[in-house]
Amino acid sequence: MSYVKIWVHAVWGTKKKQPFLVGDFKTETLKHIVENAEEKGIEICCVNCWVDHVHCLIRLGPDQSIAGVIKMVKGEFSRWANQNKLTKKRFSWAREYYACSVSEGNLRKVKHYILNQERHHSKRTFQQEVAAYFEEHATNASI
């Protein structure tokens, strides 16, 4: 049996940056993401969100890809939220997402960052955070 230990920090947002992820909807979102992932054999170490985006620390299995896992999590949640009419407007995630590998030595730091989104975003918005990240890492990508 293969032993694979690849950690990924993934971030994805709501379509048009709609601030859906608040109150009971936030609670239901996080709960459903974790439960659904577990049912599908996706190991989520931690997950949290801010009003318009989700951060997730995922351990990929030997037969899992980043794209496949994120597509499964996002797609199943959108279907479930709309089927159960959890929002007045149709719920959708943006197509884009961000994902990067996390070394064993940085797991605690990344987990702390994910679990403290409220405090983190009291200092800067998601858009400011993304712009600073891409400037620091000299890339033209955007999410």
Contact 9, 110 (CB under 8 A): yes
Residue 41 to residue 56: CA distance in whole angstroms:
15
pLDDT tens column, 67-91: 999 999 999 999 999 999 998 899 9
Domain boundary assignment for the chain = 6-136
Residue 99 to residue 56: CA distance in whole angstroms:
9
Q: What is the pTM (predicted TM-score) of this model?
A: 0.84
pLDDT tens column, 49-61: 999 999 999 999 9
DSSP 62: T
Residue 87 to residue 22: CA distance in whole angstroms:
11
* Banded model confidence at residue 137, pLDDT cuts 50, 70, 90: low
User: The domain 6-136: what is its CATH number?
Assistant: 3.30.70.1290
Q: What pLDDT was estimated at residue 7?
A: 97
**3-state secondary structure string across 75-131:** HHHHHHHHHCCCCCCCCCEEEEEEEEEECHHHHHHHHHHHHCHHHHHCCCCHHHHHH
pLDDT at 95 > cutoff 60: yes
Give the mean pLDDT of 112-116.
Answer: 92
Residue 42 to residue 73: CA distance in whole angstroms:
9
| DSSP bridge partners of 10 | 56, 99
51 vs 140, more confident: 51
Q: What pLDDT was estimated at residue 143?
A: 52
